[in-house]
Structure 1
Amino acid sequence: MAATAHPLMVGQVLQSNSTHYTILQFIGEGGFGEVAKCWADNSSSAVAVKILKNEYLQDIEDEVSMLKTIGSLNADNINVVKFYEQFQYLGYNCLVFELLDVDLSHLVCSIKVHNIRPIAEQLLVALQGLKSVRVMHGDIKPDNVMLADIDEDPVRVKG
């Protein structure tokens, strides 16, 4: 992984108004910033915290508004990731989501043909749910489709 965009480290505690998130490891990086797997004290469970680069501050309000709109739907029924909260820590905007397993691009070469249809159907349900609240997904690609829990259900996806 490339150099971090912030001074945050594994073991550090991020504090929101509702809980403390202990950084367990950094699990992803992109143009937006990084994603950390964290332990949420309030729920005693692991979550994903997206730590945004400061240059994306102007876009945060629109994204949070969209995430709250999507949150009005039942995330499990429409196959979208659950958004829990947004907070600032040391000047960094942090978005907290349910922790999912791996993205679909990790399985593209090994996916079995009979698994394509259930995955496609789940993605269509997700798109239909987004359409119902007038939200359009602008970046559908295997990197942005996540397997919920590959051990429990190897074809359960969320977009």
Structure 2
Amino acid sequence: MIELHRNDRKKVFLPLSNESLVNNRYRKDTKLGEGTYGEVCKAVDILSNTFVALKKVKADQEEEGVPSTALREIAILRDISHPNIVKLLDVYNSEKHLYLIFEYCNTDLHKFLKNNPQDLSINFIRHASYQMLDALAFMHSHRILHRDIKPSNVLLSGDVVKLADFGLARSIGIPIKRYTVEVVTMWYRPPELIQKYNIYGSGIDIWGMGAVIAEMILHEPIFRGDSDIDQLHKIFDILGTPKPIDYPDLDYFTDKKVFDYFPKNNVEFRTKLKSIGEDGYSLLMKMFEYNPGKRISAREAMKDPFFIKN
């Protein structure tokens, strides 16, 4: 039996089950992906005759045991329900593996962009962005941070968009404590995390959301750095080098020995984003606000003029 602690307050118990229960109920179809801790397969639930996504996680009890990311994902998803957040249907815990059964979605946004190189319609971008923001607004209202917003963690099922992969998610309390900065994939990581600023909140998800919206327009990551310093250079090149008035808590940003000075309002970048219009561009700039305290919230973003249809 695994005893799972969430926020050092709540315990979730996962009793051991026979691995044959999983094999008898779910018939594997195709592999959807593979990571450090296991694989994800499309499978058929024989009882309901429906497709599911089966995540098989290695459980090496002699070494590290079940990865904390899998346990964290279970703890978070068992407590929340939203139409734009992937559903965790069941969990099986055997001696060798941990099985997480999720609702099945056709593809993810990363694969969708790769398979659809043509420009996406403004309606698609608006519709997908609104659903992602709705999920974030729900999570943030329950004091949950996703901490890894990126296209491969956004699932598509017809017209419905769902946030997935909650392995880095966590609940936060008040007052906000210091948390690890080793979260969020680099190309979607806000400047405060790159600068190791370990007191943060929902703004880190909003920055990632902005990067995802920009990627839907550009069909490539907007900030593609290969190191922390290079990532900041890529951000400053497009958004401009922040001044102390923009971000007084992180003076390191203004160190001319480290960074060149880049002016605001990159004309080339603005031209590339012309398809979303002035309202869309304005919303992105609110998401890419350097000062996380001034960054737009998910709930405020949903009320932005960009989502008001003409």
TM-score, scaled to structure 1: 0.75
Amino acid of the structure 2 residue aligned with 1:43: S
How many Å apart are 1:41 and its aligned residue? 2.0
What's 2:150 paired with? 141
Within the candidate set 158, 161, 169, 1:157 is matched to: 161
What's 1:124 paired with? 133
Q: Distance in 1 between matches of 2:137 and 2:118?
A: 27
Is 2:120 the counterpart of 1:112?
Answer: yes
How many Å apart are 1:34 and its aligned residue? 0.7
Cα pair 2:58 2:96 within 8 Å, conserved: no
Cα pair 1:15 1:89 within 8 Å, conserved: no
Greater Cα shift, 110-119 or 55-64: 55-64
| RMSD of equivalent CA atoms | 2.1
Is 2:65 the counterpart of 1:63?
Answer: no
Please say which structure displays the higher CA radius of gyration: 2
Is 2:37 the counterpart of 1:28?
Answer: no
Is 2:51 the counterpart of 1:53?
Answer: no
Q: Deviations over 1:56-110 (max 9, x none)?
A: 604143321111012xx2x32xx11111111024611010000001111123333
Equivalenced residues, count: 135
Alpha carbons of structure 1 residues 14 and 118: separation in structure 2 relative to 1, 3 Å: farther
Within the candidate set 43, 47, 52, 1:42 is matched to: 47
Runs of 4+ in 1 over 3 A off after TM superposition: none
TM-score, scaled to structure 2: 0.40
What's 2:192 paired with? none
Within the candidate set 15, 22, 25, 2:21 is matched to: 15
Question: Percent of pairs identical after alignment?
Answer: 33
Alpha carbons of structure 1 residues 146 and 56: separation in structure 2 relative to 1, 3 Å: farther
Cα pair 1:14 1:23 within 8 Å, conserved: no
SS, match of residue 158 in structure 1: strand
SS, match of residue 31 in structure 1: coil
Q: Deviations over 1:15-37 (max 9, x none)?
A: 24xx7111112111123321011
Cα pair 1:47 1:97 within 8 Å, conserved: yes
Is 2:69 the counterpart of 1:85?
Answer: no
Which structure ranks higher in relative contact order (CA pairs < 8 Å, sequence separation ≥ 6)? 1
Structure with more strand by fraction: 1
Alpha carbons of structure 1 residues 84 and 140: separation in structure 2 relative to 1, 3 Å: same
Q: Distance in 2 between matches of 1:66 and 1:38?
A: 23
Cα pair 1:32 1:56 within 8 Å, conserved: no
Alpha carbons of structure 1 residues 14 and 134: separation in structure 2 relative to 1, 3 Å: farther
Structure with more helix by fraction: 2
How many Å apart are 1:144 and its aligned residue? 0.7
Alpha carbons of structure 1 residues 111 and 61: separation in structure 2 relative to 1, 3 Å: same
SS, match of residue 77 in structure 2: helix
Q: Distance in 2 between matches of 1:46 and 1:28?
A: 16
Cα pair 2:52 2:101 within 8 Å, conserved: yes
